[in-house]
């Protein structure tokens, strides 16, 4: 009798079991195509490709920071913006010099380009600006840090390895600082 009851239960429950959602695997992070492409290179080819990738990333971060500087609420953001702009500007100047020495052009540039991110920063003020700006810059810093970490081990020029190591270390620290500010000021 128990077998018959169990069989009846299985037959009646089968449609419900088939319709039950199956757990999906968690999405995996997509590899950064720039990192993947750079990882395939070596020597001078790597150095040039790395700098051509990092220069526009740095320049866009500078443009976003300039757009955000006038309308942020917290003086910490304004002070950090200036330090970050100065640091990245110096690194861009160095990379432009190294590219010239390598007989290469910089490729695409991000200076004085009004991207959607720059437009967004220009349209916001106060808390709304900071709540958009901090995560945006966190993502920028993490991208630069990942590029720097790769170049710190693969670059053929010692100067590039040294700068890349600094980029990776400093920008990861600053990304963590921006996340802490976002949590402290906006509980996000």
Domain ranges of the chain: 38-186
Q: Considering the entire predicted model, what is its pTM?
A: 0.82
Cβ atoms 172, 85 nearer than 8 A: no
Alpha carbons 91 and 79: distance in angstroms, whole number:
19
Q: What are phi and psi of 102, to 5 degrees?
A: -85, 0
Please give the chain's pLDDT, 188 residues, in tens.
554 444 444 444 444 444 444 444 444 455 688 899 999 999 999 999 999 999 999 999 999 999 998 899 999 999 999 999 999 999 999 999 999 999 999 998 888 888 999 999 999 999 999 999 999 999 999 999 999 999 999 999 999 999 999 999 999 999 999 999 999 999 99
Cβ atoms 129, 72 nearer than 8 A: yes
Under CATH, which architecture does the 38-186 domain have?
Up-down Bundle (1.20)
Alpha carbons 188 and 133: distance in angstroms, whole number:
13
What would the two tokens of residue 71 be? Answer: 């309308």
């Amino acid at each position: 009798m128990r077998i018959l009851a169990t069989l009846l239960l299985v037959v009646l429950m089968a449609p419900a079991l088939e319709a039950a959602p199956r757990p999906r695997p968690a999405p995996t992070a997509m590899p950064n195509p720039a990192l993947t492409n750079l990882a395939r290179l070596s020597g001078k080819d790597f150095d040039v490709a790395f700098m051509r990738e990092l220069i526009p990333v740095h320049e866009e971060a500078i443009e976003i920071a300039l757009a955000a500087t006038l309308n942020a609420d917290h003086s910490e953001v304004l002070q950090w913006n200036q330090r970050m702009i100065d640091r990245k500007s110096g690194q861009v100047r160095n990379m432009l010099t190294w590219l010239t020495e390598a007989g290469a052009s910089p490729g695409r540039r991000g200076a004085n380009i009004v991207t959607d991110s720059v437009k967004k920063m220009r349209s916001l003020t106060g808390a709304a600006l900071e709540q958009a700006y901090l995560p945006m810059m966190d993502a920028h810093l993490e991208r630069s840090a990942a590029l720097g970490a790769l170049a710190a081990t693969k670059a053929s020029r010692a100067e590039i390895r040294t700068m890349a190591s600094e980029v990776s270390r400093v920008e990861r620290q600053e990304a963590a600082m921006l996340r802490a500010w976002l949590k402290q000021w906006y509980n996000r």
